[in-house]
């Protein structure tokens, strides 16, 4: 039975998240419906990560098995036709080895979080970035972010309902990028690790934003990390600014 690897882009705004749920539209659900329309088969589409409601993807990866040996470009184009008008697109489809697993074969994941700092509301970027009313101190945020890189117990930045076996993770990258803008400031926070705890990226972003606002110092972020206490975390950043950008194999 041929296995296919899909690279997927989606706007998470209308979805309850990646995972199919009893109530609400999910990315996994619309994909599985599209596959059934293409092949007549009810199959499980396994994603590399379960993004939350409102979280976007520019490089989600999934795999599925089909009874027929379809050409990969046919799989890509036919699924895209059946996905319309849902804001989901198959960027690439390729044949994969039988033991390839979108989740368990991954060796790294990269997320990007977008912040736009300006007084005016977002028109084109609404639900695609976190809008803040004033500029942030990007160098101070970078200094705070640097203190979170490495292998740590990230209990402070872990959701209460996180199902990971351990709060210890190795954060390979947390970098703040400042982009020029004519009518405001845009920052992008890049986070990379083999895997993340539930809500870890949004919790880290919300915390370093406190530093950018001048309410916290980088030393406060170190103290919060070392406390291993969820109540010491800064406010969690909204889901709308988060993108699953890449899954590495």
Question: Which active-site residues does the annotation give?
Answer: 52
Beta bridge partners of 116: 131, 186
Name, in order, each residue with C-beta under 8 angstroms of 218's C-beta and a sequence gap of 6 or more.
Answer: 140, 143, 144, 146, 147, 211
96 touches 113 (CB < 8 A) = no
CA angle 165, 30, 109 (to 5 degrees): 40
Q: Is 150 left (phi over 0), alpha (psi -120 to 50) or beta?
A: left
List of E strands, 66-219: 88-96, 108-117, 130-132, 150-153, 168-179, 185-193
Contact yes or no for 153/228 (Cβ under 8 A): yes
- Residue that has been written with the tokens 């209990």 in this structure: 155
Beta carbons of 173 and 249 less than 8 angstroms apart: no
- List the structure tokens of 132: 């803040």
């Amino acid at each position: 039975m041929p296995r296919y690897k899909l690279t997927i882009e989606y706007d998470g705004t209308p979805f309850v998240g990646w995972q199919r749920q009893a109530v609400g539209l999910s990315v996994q659900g619309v994909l599985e419906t599209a596959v059934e329309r293409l092949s007549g088969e009810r199959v499980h589409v396994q994603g590399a990560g379960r993004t939350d409601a409102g979280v976007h993807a520019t490089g989600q990866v999934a795999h599925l098995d089909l009874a027929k040996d379809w050409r990969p470009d046919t799989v890509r184009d036919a699924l895209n036709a059946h996905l319309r008008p849902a804001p989901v697109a198959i960027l690439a489809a390729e044949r994969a080895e039988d033991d390839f697993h979108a989740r368990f074969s991954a060796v790294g994941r990269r997320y990007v979080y977008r912040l736009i700092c300006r007084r005016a509301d977002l028109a084109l970027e609404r639900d695609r970035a976190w809008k803040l009313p004033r500029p942030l101190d990007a160098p101070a945020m970078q200094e705070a972010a640097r203190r979170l890189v490495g292998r740590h117990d990230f209990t402070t930045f872990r959701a209460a309902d996180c199902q990971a076996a351990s709060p210890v993770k190795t954060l390979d990258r947390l970098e703040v990028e400042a982009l020029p803008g004519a009518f405001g400031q845009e920052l992008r926070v890049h986070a990379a690790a083999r895997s993340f705890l539930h809500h870890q990226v949004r919790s880290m972003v919300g915390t370093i934003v406190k530093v950018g606002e001048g309410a916290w110092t980088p030393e406060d972020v170190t103290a919060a990390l070392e406390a291993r206490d969820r109540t010491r975390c800064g406010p969690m950043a909204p889901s709308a600014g988060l993108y699953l950008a890449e899954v590495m194999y």
